[in-house]
Chains A and B, each alone.
Chain A
Amino acid sequence: MSRACIIGAAAIAFASSPVIAQKKVERKIPLGMEGALRIVNMVGSVVVHGWGKDTVMVRGTLGAGDNFYMGGGYTGAKMFVEAVNDRDPKPARLEVWVPARVRLWVKTATANINVSGVDGGLDLYVVSGTIDVTGNPHELNAEAIDGDIHITGSPPWVRAKSATGTIVFQGASSDAAFSTVSGAVKVDGGVFERTKIETVTGNINFSGRLDRSGTFDFDTHSGIIDIAIPDKTAASFSVVTIAGGITNNVSNNSPIPGRFGRGAELMMDTSGGGAKVSVRTFKGPVTLRRTN
């Protein structure tokens, strides 16, 4: 290889190197332990960790020419990335440490959001990125259009919505609601109280313990519903389908033909009744079973 070729190849490699195309950012501001923080980053990633200091610290990389802004007072702060070209923003990767009890609001377009160790309230919005939350925020609202949402923990109040994305919840909650259009919803974990899961065509898998005083609503148009509960669960079931079948592996009760001349119905109490469980589908099949 001629010397000119080597220099040329090296120049191309150097010019396209991400090290050259990015710039680093590292900033720190004070924020109260229960302050509020807003983060906006359209493309790339936002990783947030809760910590025990009344300080927000951010480290990350921005696209060449992009600018990073962070400011605010002790009770509230915000940070965002200003892209040189709004039409074609370059990925910015932000890793942020926040006071653990902060009220956090994050909005992205395709950037993935990953939050861990934050006990305050979380409002997370993505268009097509993925949302991952680990921990026990006292309130969690996660919304995506076509991104997946994964939650591991026990937020007392949780809402998650996606259209085509999958929602996976592993943990427990006293007030949970999950909604998708075609994305699957998988809930697996401990004790649940007020729980509502609705999809249009997405499948619903629920495996957990039902609080005796809880209410549980499962609605879908054509998704498959699979509900697994422990043996001796005290609950009153109302399962109604317009056209779908019902398989009951929880008790000896058999479904009967639907009262409207189609579909099937199953009304039954287990262990004397308790939690109110309503399952409704248009044509999706329903299976009730015991947890393994």
Chain B
Amino acid sequence: MTHEVIRHLLDDYVTGELTEDARGPVADHIAACEICSAEVESLKGILARAADLPRSIEPPAEAWLNIRSAIERDKEAVAADHRTSENFWRRPYALAAAVVLAAVLSSGGTALYLNSRGTSSSPVTATNTWNGPTPATFVAFTIEENNYLRNVAVLQDLLDQQEALLAPETVAQLKASLRTIDEAILEARSALARDPANKMLIEMLSGTYRQKMDLMRRTAEMTRGS
């Protein structure tokens, strides 16, 4: 058995669920392999700590009170944000600024995004910040878009490293899919630059960005092994 295979069996080895025929070769490998030996020690430590944990924990008495007040605070914040965003779009100078910002971002942002492979040294981790609600305003959207660009860069780096693990046909299909998404983003982004108050476009763009992130994340996870 190779190191790669044994790596998958270490949890069963530690919990004693490994079949008898596999136990011997795995034990021999662990004795000779520092990485697996350390992993076994770590797993034993986790099991020991888990065994010391209480079977159940009662939530503190004030928990529900806190949850309820947090919900109320959120409701008020959403209402306030709604009022602010309405007022914001009524101001002519804000609208003009947004149009300029949109024009800059539609070219600069897209260029940055298209060149993200070359600017992927950002230390930001690839957490999906797009799981939350879709940004309601153009300004909120552009902030989220920047997060997206950073996350895409990180995921792109990861996929570049893993490309050799995929079949060439799959890589070609994946790249074609990403191009399809990029073209849709460009088209919608360009429309948004002309019409920055269009909430539906913002929602559609957010959705398309989410799909790109999701496809990249899924591909990275699938090539990562079991």
Contact = CB atoms under 8 A, between A and B. Distances in A.
A154 to B, nearest CB: 25
B226 A221 contact: no
A119 interface: no
Nearest to A108: B222
Contacts of B207: 198, 219
Contacts of A38: 226
Interface string A71-100: 111001010101000100000000000000
Interface in B176-226: 176-177, 180-181, 184, 187-188, 191, 195, 197-198, 200-201, 203-204, 207-208, 211, 214-215, 218-219, 222-223, 226
B167 A128 contact: yes
Contacts of B222: 107, 125, 127, 143, 145
Contacts of B166: 127
A164 B177 contact: yes
Given A110-B167, A219-B204, A145 B226 contact: no
A185 interface: no
Given A71-B17, A82-B5, A163-B177, A145 B170 contact: yes
Contacts of A193: none
B1 interface: yes
A103 to B, nearest CB: 15
Interface residues of B, number: 43
A107 B188 CA distance: 35
A283 B188 CA distance: 10
Given A181-B211, A222-B184, A260-B195, A107 B174 contact: no
Given A82-B1, A128-B167, A181 B180 contact: yes
B129 interface: no
A69 B6 CA distance: 11
Contacts of A40: 226
Q: Interface residue tally of chain A, by bracket?
A: 35 or more
A280 B219 contact: no
A50 B200 CA distance: 45
A179 B169 contact: no
A213 B203 CA distance: 24
Most B Cβ at <10 Å: residue of A40, A73, A242: A242
A127 B195 CA distance: 39
Given A72-B17, A260-B201, 12 more contacts: A76-B17, A78-B8, A107-B222, A107-B226, A146-B170, A163-B177, A164-B176, A181-B180, A200-B208, A221-B184, A221-B208, A242-B200
23 contacts: A38-B226, A67-B5, A72-B17, A78-B8, A86-B4, A110-B167, A127-B167, A127-B219, A145-B170, A145-B215, A145-B218, A146-B170, A164-B173, A164-B177, A179-B211, A181-B215, A201-B184, A221-B187, A242-B191, A261-B195, A280-B204, A282-B187, A282-B191
Interface of A: 29, 38, 40, 67, 69-73, 76, 78, 80, 82, 86, 107, 109-110, 125, 127-128, 143, 145-146, 161, 163-164, 179, 181-182, 198, 200-201, 219, 221-222, 240, 242, 260-261, 280, 282-283
3 tightest CB-CB pairs across the interface, nearest first?
A221-B184, A71-B19, A146-B173
